[in-house]
A and B are shown apart, each in its own frame.
Chain A
Amino acid sequence: MSLFLLALFTLPAIADVSNTDVLGDSSALGAAELFTFLWNLLPPNVQTALIGYLAIVGLFRHAGKLSTTVFHKYCEATETKADDEFLAKVENSRALRAVLFWIDLLLSWKPYRGPATPTDSNPNTPTDPRMVNLPPRPEAPVIPRAAGMIAFFLGVLFLAGCARLQPGASPIVVRTEQLEKSAKATFDLVLGADNRRREFFKTNAPAFHGFCEWLRQPLPVDGRNYPRAAALIKNVSNVKLAFKTGRASSNDVVTVITTLESAAVQATFWKTNFLKLP
């Protein structure tokens, strides 16, 4: 944990992840770059909160177990047995188990709870006399813990949902720009995946590769031969700019959007299916 925190604090300079060149040649992307890349995806306030969270986890693991162990030994060392019984009663209460489950889940801390109870597989385990007549402890809920961690990371990724339009913003323009950006992201993902294993997909998934080749065919826009994927977006962008200046109607925007949308939908279909290909 300490090493991990040290690594967090000594991260190299932050790379500009908005630069698509970072992902252009992904084969050069190593584990260290991936870690930096993932870390940079988090907003600065989330980074600060995460470092604080990990620091608390580390402190709890180091200090928490030590302090509870000392407290245990102190109670055992005293002559009176009343405190031992009270401690056993508290530690074996369901409420405390529930609390400890969440502390373990969130802070990764298992406080000291006395010697382990004997089991069938290991009957020679040292036994705490207070624990002999207690029912065996249930197994730690592994799946909820894993699910909790996955939910946490997904929550960080998808924390923000759709935003409302600001007053004065044209819904047609904003939705068109959202479509342009999401279509570009989808084409980047699909074409990038095909590009990394062109020969493989050409042989094993010719339909997918054929669709990617269709997206790559050059089309003239503004006097330059753009790949079809970019040309479709460029067309939408041009009509959108014309609409903003009053040189095109909303019907023109909808017409040109339809073409881009159908290509993007097909790319989305392949995006969700290319991982299942043989």
Chain B
Amino acid sequence: MTAILALLPTLYPLVRDGVGDVAALIQYIRSIRSAAQQSAEWTDAQEAQFQTELEATLTDSAYQPDK
């Protein structure tokens, strides 16, 4: 029991990061599937939404270089 409690601080970040990775991977699969299913040109609304997503990279921490 003591050993399990001692392991918890190590396990928690692994689980937390693992959850984020799995969620990102599923989001990736979902996007690829959505792209593969596209059968017509984007509407203006879809184009605008994609441009908004591109603009969001300006503030997204994942897209910011090392300080």
Contact = CB atoms under 8 A, between A and B. Distances in A.
Secondary structure at the A interface, as helix, strand, loop or mixed, is: helix
Nearest to B65: A216
A237 B53 CA distance: 13
Interface stretch (A71-79, A104-112, A124-132, A222-230): A222-230
B38 interface: yes
A48 B39 CA distance: 26
A188 B64 contact: no
Secondary structure at the B interface, as helix, strand, loop or mixed, is: helix
Interface residues of B, number: 41
A203 B5 CA distance: 29
Interface string A27-43: 10111001001100100
A112 to B, nearest CB: 38
Contacts of A80: none
A174 B24 CA distance: 25
Nearest to B34: A181
Interface residues of A, number: 62
Contact of A173 (B20, B28, B41): B41
B64 to A, nearest CB: 6
B17 A197 contact: yes
A22 to B, nearest CB: 8
B26 to A, nearest CB: 6
A20 interface: yes
B2 interface: no
Interface string A10-32: 00000001001001101101110
10 contacts: A26-B17, A29-B19, A31-B19, A160-B36, A169-B40, A188-B24, A188-B27, A189-B25, A226-B54, A227-B58
Interface of B: 16-17, 19-42, 47, 50-51, 53-54, 56-58, 60-66
- 8 nearest A-B pairs in the assembled complex, by CB-CB distance: A26-B20, A185-B31, A195-B62, A163-B39, A230-B57, A181-B35, A216-B65, A227-B63
Given A184-B53, A230-B54, 5 more contacts: A17-B27, A20-B53, A41-B26, A178-B35, A224-B58
